[in-house]
Chains A and B, each alone.
Chain A
């Protein structure tokens, strides 16, 4: 009877161990972030991404959702999946994303679906970056629209994205950002403009 009790406990524990490990790594869902977290106005990052000091939960989650990510001296990655009101970003709504100068040599904002892939569309409007901001005339005050249908000015397509997130990449980040990200990064705003039926 003792052996049966032990085996049942071992089996149940092992099953829970597999499930929680897969969930923490984001093999199911988005994964769980533990330790090293940075939150700059709702844009989340983790300074241990890509480094040997990452804990096993972070390493597994990044392997699943950000494989081949660079360490923080080369690039940092911020992600946000909700708008300024805290509502989930979804292709059925139109958003205005705006911001100012970024503390890095070069930056980009890219849209990814819930599976961490570029959305399956052929709109050729997958990201907005420093080059686009310079082309629009002001790298210190820029904005673009996120919507499933083409918009005037800067546009990132959410066509076929479902629920999505935006990833802000900052390449060659300034030392001030690495030292005090919350105080240094002026977080881009994500304003919901309207919502409607997806056609």
Chain B
């Protein structure tokens, strides 16, 4: 094979391989950093209310200052995790993100919806884990043990933020 052909072929192989290697590794790396940053002072499987969002308290990109956030860092390596979160009189959601940053689940916490109960309950598990020991029927499946659960509640005032924070003790996030 002639020298230029060898060089160009190697260049293309190197470019494509490294481009996709880096591209596919970035979300997991960023998520891992976020888990450390958010959950650094928080034990696993514990709902932690974020400070009211301001330029001085923001820890991740593009937070919404109109929402009250609470987060639970999940590790499924020892089994599924049950989550129970009270509903909210305004817009609200419970969401789950996998280690690759995909939003694998989003459920409403809006108490005004016709099918709303007092709380939303989900079971987060990896494929193949035993989910039959829980009575929860809404099951969220992820590919790897690391995940994040996030509560968003519409709370544009300090009073509403305080009301959202008062619901954290009534929220659960832990192994079955």
Contacts and interface: CB of A to CB of B under 8 A. Distances in A.
B109 to A, nearest CB: 11
- The list of the 4 closest CB pairs from A to B, nearest first, reads A13-B14, A17-B18, A9-B10, A50-B103
A84 to B, nearest CB: 23
Contacts, number: 186
B14 A68 contact: no
Interface of B: 1, 3-4, 6-24, 26-27, 30-31, 34, 53-56, 58, 60-66, 90-91, 93, 95, 97, 100-104, 106, 108, 110, 148, 150, 154, 156
A69 B54 contact: no
Given A2-B1, A25-B26, A54-B102, A11 B14 contact: yes
Contacts of A137: none
B100 A110 contact: no
B62 A9 contact: no
Given A6-B10, A24-B23, A60-B26, A17 B104 contact: no
A127 B24 contact: no
A127 B102 contact: no
A7 interface: yes
Instruction: Report the interface size class on chain A.
Output: 35 or more
B63 to A, nearest CB: 7
A14 B26 contact: no
Contact of A10 (B11, B26, B100, B106): B11
Interface stretch (A70-78, A95-103, A174-182): A70-78
Interface string A24-49: 11010000000000000000000000
B72 to A, nearest CB: 13
Nearest to B157: A131
A139 to B, nearest CB: 14
Contacts of A2: 1, 3, 6
A64 B25 CA distance: 12
Contacts of B22: 17-18, 21-22
B62 A65 contact: yes
A65 B6 contact: no
Contacts of A129: 66, 156
A6 B53 CA distance: 52
A110 B65 contact: yes
